[in-house]
Structures are given as C-alpha cells and as structure tokens.
Amino acid sequence: MTYQKKRRLILKLATAALSVIGLGFGPGLVSANAATVENLGTFRFWTAWKGDDNSGIMCYISSQPQETQPANVNRDPIHFLVVNRKGLGTLNEVQTLVG
C-alpha cells in the first residue's frame, strides 16, 4: 500500500472512530462537521489530527501496529487512537479499532 493510500485510509478510519466515539455519548453529538479533520503531521509512529463537532474542538493521535502476528492472517487494518475532546472534558481517551 502506498504512503498516500495509507494516509487516506487512516483519515477515513479516524473519522469513523470519531463518529463511534460521539455515538457513545448520546445521539446527535456528531454532525457533518466531524468529517472536517485536519492532519497536523506525523511524528515517529503517530499522526496528530484536529477536528470539531457539536461539542467543540477535539484533538487526537492515531497509529497502527508496526507488526502483527501471525503475519499470514487476512484482517482489516488495526488502529489505536488517543482522543481529547475539550467540550466534553475528556482527556486521553483510548480507542482501539481491531481489524
């Protein structure tokens, strides 16, 4: 998978994860604005993102495992996220998307 395809996939998964996170707090929290996510950059194995929804600004980092075992298993990508949502007062909320 090329670097650009991988980054687009991460953005789609992170946006989906934010929707799931929002649904966990009650209906109607996530709006179309949740899709407006800005990539702030990649630092080692983590990518930083900034976005907003009805509750306000959110920032999060996402990463994928560098290696999975067994290697021959066909699975969707695995992602880890750490989310801060200022409007809800949540800090360092850990999310896992298991492939």
Please provide the DSSP assignment of 19-86 as one string: HHHHHTT-TT---GGGG-EEEEEEETTEEEEEEEETTEEEEEEEE--S--SSTT---PPPEEEEEEEG
Average pLDDT over residues 23-47: 65
Domain that holds residue 19: 3-97
In this predicted structure, the answer to whether residue 60 has a pLDDT above a threshold of 70 is yes
How many domains is the chain partitioned into structurally?
Answer: 1
Instruction: Note whether 13 and 95 are within 8 A (CB).
Output: no
For the chain, give the percent of residues with pLDDT over 70: 65
Query: Does this model's pTM top 0.85?
Result: no
Mean pLDDT, the chain, as a whole number?
Answer: 76
Q: Give residue 32's pLDDT.
A: 41
